[in-house]
Each structure stands twice: as C-alpha cells, then as structure tokens.
Structure 1
Amino acid sequence: MRFHEYGGIEVLRVEEVPRLVPGPAQVLVEVRAAGIQPGEAHIREGAPHARRPATFASGQGSDLAGVVVECGPHVRGFRVGDEVLGFTHRRAGHAQYVLVDDVHLVSRPAGLPREVAGALYVAGTTACAGVFAVDPGPEDTVVVSGAAGGVGSLAVQLARLRGATVIGLASEPHHAWLEKHGVLPVTCGPGTAERIREASGGRVDAFIDTIGEGYAALAVELGVRPARIDTIRDGKAATEIGAPTYGEGAAASAVVLGELARLAARCRPEVPIARTHPPEAVQEAFRALERRHTHGKIVLRP
C-alpha cells in the first residue's frame, strides 16, 4: 500500500514492488493481518509533515502478524515458519511481505487469533501508556473517552484489571459491551459532564482521553488533577493544563507487546475486531475508519 503524494483516501494504491531481503538482524514476515490506525490517515494527509515528512513513494502501516519466511544471519529466537506478531516504524506494515527488526517481534501465543495479533501493537501499547500515565487503583474512578474505539476499548479493560471503577464515554449502541466488561457507560454529547457526575457520585480521579474534542478541559472541569489526565489527541490542551500525552511511543517495546499478547490470548483484555478487509480494499477500510463510531479495530487480511 503506497501513496505518491499527500491527500485523501484516493491517493492510496496497491503496487507491486521487489521482495525485500533481510539484513543481519532482520526477519522477513509474510503478513496475514495488519491493523489500520487513525494516525496513518493523518500521515497520508500530511499533518505531521513538519516533524516527520514522508518520502515518496511512501508506504504505511505499523501493526502486523504473520509467518516468518526468511531470517538474517544474526537473528536469534525465530526461524522460518514461526507465527509472529510485531511492529515496524518504517511505514511498511500494509504489505504482503515486511522486513522487521527481530527485536520488534514476539511469538504469537496459542489461542490468539491472527486478526487480533495483527491489530494489537498501536492500540494496545497506547492503552497501556495511558493507563500507566494516570495510574489507577482500586480506590479510583477513571473516565475514558472513546471507550468503544480501538484504544479506548482496551484502556477501559486494563484500568478494570487494576481494580478501578471505570466510566466509559460512548454512544448508546456500545453500552451493552461496556457493561459486559464491568464499565459504567455514559453517553457522550451535550450534558456529558452532568452524566459523569451522576455516574461517579461526584468524584473523578483520573481521565484518559483518546479522541480530543475538548475532553482534557472537561476533565479539569470535573476536578481531575492535570497530572492524572492523559490525552493522546489534544497536545495543545495538554500543554495549557500541564497534562501528560503518553501514547504508543511511551510503551513501544516487544516486551510490552508480548505481555499484551499473552493477556489477549485469554481475552484479558478482549480485543474487539470491528471488521476485516482484503488488502485490495484498503480504501474502503479507511473510509470505515473515518466514519469513526466503529467498535474496536479494523484489520486488513489477505
């Protein structure tokens, strides 16, 4: 999947390129599942150009799961035929074959579906970083915005595993899933602050914001200390109030991914898969993502 200029979904192309050869500590993975992220759409549109300009033709994608087909001579711990999951920082995950540094791979646990494995890295490590940032415990009430999305659906479960009371902001069609996972659902939209106060009994200790749109300011309005507000989508608000912006990069390691994979293999947390698309339907996959309101992850699967 490549694009030759910044733009909308229409600039994405499926192209044939030469198969790559692993370097000394690299593994060539035949991809069987690859998640898509909102951040990839922002990169394609040119939003981070000033900080991280694209080199055209540019690929995209970081999450992946698949089968090892070739190893470099210095690779240890993996061999041809192994089922793996991992990540790449080279904007290259949406491809038939991907070169991955061996330190960015882990073995796929038995019982972990490929589509879950291929969608775990960005959403999972971002959720881990957010929960780590606000450090919830059994005495805390935590609010998560975008609680049914790719990151939010994992963050609410990880906070519950720490024993916290969790309030999840989501549209009504997702309330039953949140309740099933021990989360108090609250409808987002006008009157959200009042509904949160009612659900929490008037006390909110921490806030994980996965979608921006003023939720960091809402957390302050609810009386949450800035040190316990984490936002992955509103850096400007975080700077103004002094809140952390811990996201994927704060937990970007194979160690964290491996532990998440082991937990997810036991559905603790459950990783919801909203839908899958064949790679040639990548444009439709991103259209579904940009409609927002999906529950969980969208995955490319050959």
Structure 2
Amino acid sequence: MLASRNSSSHPVSFVLLEIPGLESSQFWIAFPFCAMYTVTVLGNITVLHIIQMDLILHEPMYLFLAMLVVTDLVLSSSTQPKMLAILWFHAHEIGYHACLTQVFFIHTFSSVESGVLTARASDHYVAICFPLCHSSILTPSVVGKLGAVGMLRGVLWVSSVCCMVSRMPFCQSRVIPQSYCEHMAVLKLVCADTRVNHGYGLFVAFSVGGFDIIVISVSYVMILRGVLQLPSGEAWLKAIGTCASHICVILALYIPALFPFLPHCFGHHVPQVVHIMFANVYLLVPPMLNPNIYGVRTKQIQDRVILGCCQKDP
C-alpha cells in the first residue's frame, strides 16, 4: 500500500545527469568524448568495409571480427550521442521507453560481444591445434550459427530483465545519476521489493560472463598445451602472435566491465564521480580500442588500409 501511494506505474521520462562535480567543465569534457566516439565509428566502419569488400577475408577469424565491429558500433552509438547531448545541450531528459530500449541494447550487445570473443577463442583453438581441419570445422555456415546463438542468448536473457523492470512500480524520483540508462541504475528508482530483480540480474551477468570466461580459459589452456608441442620457436611465436590481439581485446572488455558493475552490487563507498567515469569508459574505450588493436596486430588489415590510403586515382 505504501508503495502504491508513493509511486506510479511508470514515469513519462527519466532525468540523466552529467559527471558530478565537473558541471562547470562539462562543455569542454565533451570534446575528448566526442573525439573518442569519432575514432570508434571511423575505425570500426573502416574494418567492416575492408572485410566486406575483400573476399579473401571472408574467413572465420574475420567474420567473427566483423561481428565484433558491428557490436561495438551498436554499443557506443546507444549511449554516446545522448551523453554528448547532455554535456553540450543540457538535454537531460530521456523517455521511459527510450530508457528501457537503451537498457536492452547495452546489455544485449555486451552479452553478444562476450559471446563473439568466446567463439573467437574456440576459433583460435581449432586453428592452432587442428590446422588441417579448421576450414572444414568452422565453415561460414557454422560461424553464422554461432553468431546467431550469441545474439539469441543476449536477446532472451535481457528481454526478460527489461520485462521484469517494466512491470515494477516506480517512485516519484526520476533522476538516474549517470549519463545513460542501465539495469541496476533504473532498478534503484523502483518503489517495490527488487530482490528478485537483483538476483536475476546477477544470475544473468554471472551466467553469461562466467560461462564465457570458463570457455575462453579452457580454450587458451588447450592452446598453450598445443603451442608447447610445436617443433620450432618460430611456429611458437607465430601461434602466440595470432592470439595476442584477441587476448588484448578480452582484457579491454572484461576489466573495465568490473568497475561499473561491482559498485552497484557491493561498493557503497565508491565516489560517484569515479563510478560514472568508469561507466562511460566501459562503453566507449573497448569499442575504440578494438579496431586499432586488430589493425596493428593483423597484417592483412594493415595492408589493405595502407593500400586504400596510398591508392591514387588514375
């Protein structure tokens, strides 16, 4: 009864905030964020265009990379334009359904990205330990099915989370103390018992992340065993070099992901400015780094970028 008197079914909109304590500098803070977002979009679109246009790159490694690129574009574009609008134009308000849509895209495509990295670890394992069978095991059809399974997993898990939130009554407060909507932040505005929602959200996060980390870890243990059995040091270095960029991308995804997630669950003494900065870094830095990591580490992509830059019109 108390919840019903102090809440409504759902508000018309929410209010997103800029970085606390830096309000006077927010106009200038937006410029580096805008530059990072621009690099993210240009870098990912360049890699995607190269993979699409060059038939030689229509192999499992590059098809998984194309999936990762699309995922990064969706993740960064689901939050950064609104954040820039907040910092530059004080456009703090976001509609209720737009907020839930943002929750859906952020968590769905975070799950998809984790799934793609897991599939790439399996691809590396097959390529290094069973090189003669690689093309017959990981055909384009199998790669497409793995991508579809990862997408379906994210959609099903996160749709359930969004449906549960949409059925809850909200309190009068509409303020989300960060620059985008995500599940835990929205859940704090609910005027009801949210233990089931919290429990299910944690279950989804740990089941998806935990499963993927286990598969990635097992894949790399098997890869390490296979690499140590290679006859020459040159072959050993080549195998390690093949995996290096993937390991960098994994670290770039999972390490920043801990900072915005853990304070919601366990940390009540983390300064809000630190939490919000890391929350923005989590959704902007990995999508910006990924195409640069693969561009530096992958000779085929390097060659095609250089060729495209140096090519002159007749």
TM-score (norm 1): 0.28
Specify which structure has the higher proportion of helix. 2
Q: Which one scores higher on RCO, CA 8 angstroms, separation ≥ 6?
A: 2
Specify which structure has the higher proportion of strand. 1
